[in-house]
Structure 1
Amino acid sequence: MKAVVMTDTGGPEVLDLQELPEPPISRPTQIKVRLHTAGINPIDTKLRARGLFYGATPPAILGCDGAGEVVAIGDEVTRFQPGDKVWFCHGGLGREQGNYAQFTVLDECRAEFMPARINFPEVGATPLALITAWEALYDRGRLEEGQTVLIHAGAGGVGHIAIQLAKIRGARVITTVSSAEKADFVRELGADIVVNYRTDDLEAIVMEHTEGRGVDLVFDTVGPETFRQSLPLIREYGSIVTILDPGEGLVTAEARNRNLSIAFTLMLTPALKDLREALAHQGEILRLGGEWMSEGRLKTHVSRILQLEEAPLAHRLIEDGHTLGKMVLMTG
């Protein structure tokens, strides 16, 4: 099979298209999948640049998101048959093979049936971003109908899904973007108030639209400076959820005085620590999210579809930070 192999840590040039043996089914509960698409995520670029989890070393195949067709099953598989179309977030962290390849093998409990009437590029681009946004807004942030949420980087892979999940929950959405093009994009997704952080006064706009109280919830997908700047924008007893390390030297006096809840979301934790109940919950997220996709209530915007050998280009584009929504690799 063809696969993109991370041959070393470093820049995108360490990603090399190679011919490898197809992975075999080694346990009776596993399924073998012919991959059609693999999602590209920022975690892929970080692992390539700084190293893998589990103490693993290259060579390795990256890519957590995948979608494809079951081609073989183990003797104890009960949920799937050859020909079934599946999607999943599995592998690519250093222990199991990732999805920058034409085939992969995984336990049947880690896969879900693809949502009906949705194409492979959209489905393959979705799992990690959907689970991240869901856990941040619904599980950690406990977003409720009628609340106001500030979603940073709303045009990004996680952000644009978070906007839609917030609207499904019945919340009002304020979001930040960096250009007029991205502003138009997030408005189409349902964002109520759009702030260009390069030109607009975010604090003034938030306070204007919350009658001086601040938002109920902030979802930070950017990093330390954004995290710190967000604390004064949250109402008393409100919450902030971040998917990143808020950085060293963080002063939390203001958060304490305002009785804020601070939460973290790393959707990879269940896979890294083999937390079965949490992994099952993530499967439920894919099932319900897939139903919403089939109903047209939730959509993943795929801005660019690339071929497998273009994985280095995909990494460069992500690191440049100028993409709308998600990108995918066509693997087969």
Structure 2
Amino acid sequence: MKGLDIPSLEVFVAAVEEKSLSRAADRENLVTSAVSKRIAELEKKLERTLLLRHGRGVEPTPAGTLLYQRAKNILRSVQLAEMAVSKYSIDGMAKIRLAANPSTLLQFLPGKMAAFFKGRTNVSIDLVEAHSFDIPRMVAEGSVDIGIYHAKYPAAGVTSFPFVNDRVGLVVPLGHPLADRQELYLEDALDYDLLGYFPLHSLDKFLAYVGPSLSRPPTVKLQVSNFETRCSMIREGLGIGIVPERIASHYLGSMGLTLLRLKDDWAVRNFFVCVLSEADSSSIVMELLCNLSEDVAHNV
């Protein structure tokens, strides 16, 4: 009974589940004759009849049913092994896939990454920029190992820990009618065109996020995702815009802008770092998680 191979087991499992050699061929991107040959070779190696052929298709013999059950376990083990190895880079180093929203990438991660890599040479990190709304789903689906997002409350389906807080403010050009105001509610600025993006990346989501704090939607004629470009557009008089305070501070002097403090409660943003679960995370992922959140570090 030597010579069992993964491709033959995959074809056999497909034939059992599809109850048809032709449908198994479609599923495995093979021609029907190739599927029939693979299964015949498998039966020859094992010296057992595995499938009964009839006019309606195929069905496993008792020996075939046993092989099907064992083959499913084998294929699952192979899949898990491939998934485990995929978490390492080509040179065999540990690899962490980290998704974060633009605010996090600009404001917080450079320092955090420098601290994490100090003294470490056995790990690499793939940084993925994504919207906060999508990041918990990416972690839950396994496309990334760790995610950093902002929201009012921790997302369902993942394990989240506090990361940081920040504030967004209102950026206007010097000389604007609002420029002399040190702080205000966004409601006070609704007579002026507002540049997007918003804290949740669309006007509808933004309005749902801020709730009853606005009496009417703002007038939005231009959507601008990049923070520097948004500030450039504000300088040119195309509107005023919501920008994280720390990011805005880099452009105020050079672009002739001023930052007004928003008094709205939603102007303070809560950021969370999340994994699928602590139990399912590798040791190096947990090390990074501890580096990102003091709440994790205190419990380890």
The two structures share one fold, judged by TM-score above 0.5 = no
Normalised by the size of structure 1, how large is the TM-score?
0.28
More helix by share: 2
Normalised by the size of structure 2, how large is the TM-score?
0.30
